[in-house]
Amino acid sequence: MKHVFIIGSRGYHAKYGGWETFVSKLVDNYNDKDTIFYISSLSDTLSCEYKVNDNIIVKPIYVKEHIGRMLFCTIKALNYYLKYIEKHDIKNAYIYILGLKLGPILKFKKNKIKRLGITTIINPDGLEYKRSKWGIFVKKFFLLSEKWMLNSCDLIVCDALGIQKYINLKYPKLKNKTTYIAYGTDKINLNNVNTKSILKEYNLDMNNYLLIIGRFVPENNYELIIKSYMKSTTKKELIIISNISMTNYYNTLVKNTNCLSDKRIHFIDGVYDEIKLSVIRKNAYAYIHGHSVGGTNPSLLEALSLTDLNILYDVEFNKDVGHDACLYFKDENDLVKIFNNLETFDKETMGTSCKEIIKNNFTWNIIVKKYKKIFK
- In this structure, the number of other CB atoms found within 10 A of the CB of residue 121 comes to 22
* DSSP run (H or E) holding 19: helix 18-30
φ/ψ region of 341 (left if φ > 0, alpha if ψ in -120 to 50, else beta) reads alpha
| CA distance linking residue 200 with residue 196, whole number of Å | 6
| CA distance linking residue 56 with residue 70, whole number of Å | 21
| CA distance linking residue 281 with residue 303, whole number of Å | 6
pLDDT of 181 > 60? The answer is: yes
Task: Report all structural domains of the chain as residue ranges with CATH numbers, in order of start.
Answer: 2-184+363-374 (3.40.50.2000), 195-361 (3.40.50.2000)
| CA distance linking residue 160 with residue 188, whole number of Å | 24
| CA distance linking residue 4 with residue 35, whole number of Å | 7
Instruction: Name the band, by pLDDT with cuts 50, 70 and 90, for residue 129.
Output: low
Decide if 257 contacts 229 (C-beta within 8 A).
no
Q: 213: which strand partners?
A: 241
- In this structure, the number of other CB atoms found within 10 A of the CB of residue 151 comes to 14
Decide if 134 contacts 142 (C-beta within 8 A).
yes
Q: 61: which strand partners?
A: 42
pLDDT in tens, 262-313: 999 999 998 989 899 999 999 999 999 999 887 778 889 999 999 999 999 9
Instruction: Name the band, by pLDDT with cuts 50, 70 and 90, for residue 173.
Output: very high
Helices 18-30 and 364-374: angle between axes, nearest 10 degrees:
80
pLDDT reported for residue 128:
65
| CA distance linking residue 15 with residue 239, whole number of Å | 19
pLDDT in tens, 11-64: 997 554 678 888 999 999 999 999 999 999 999 898 889 999 999 999 999 998
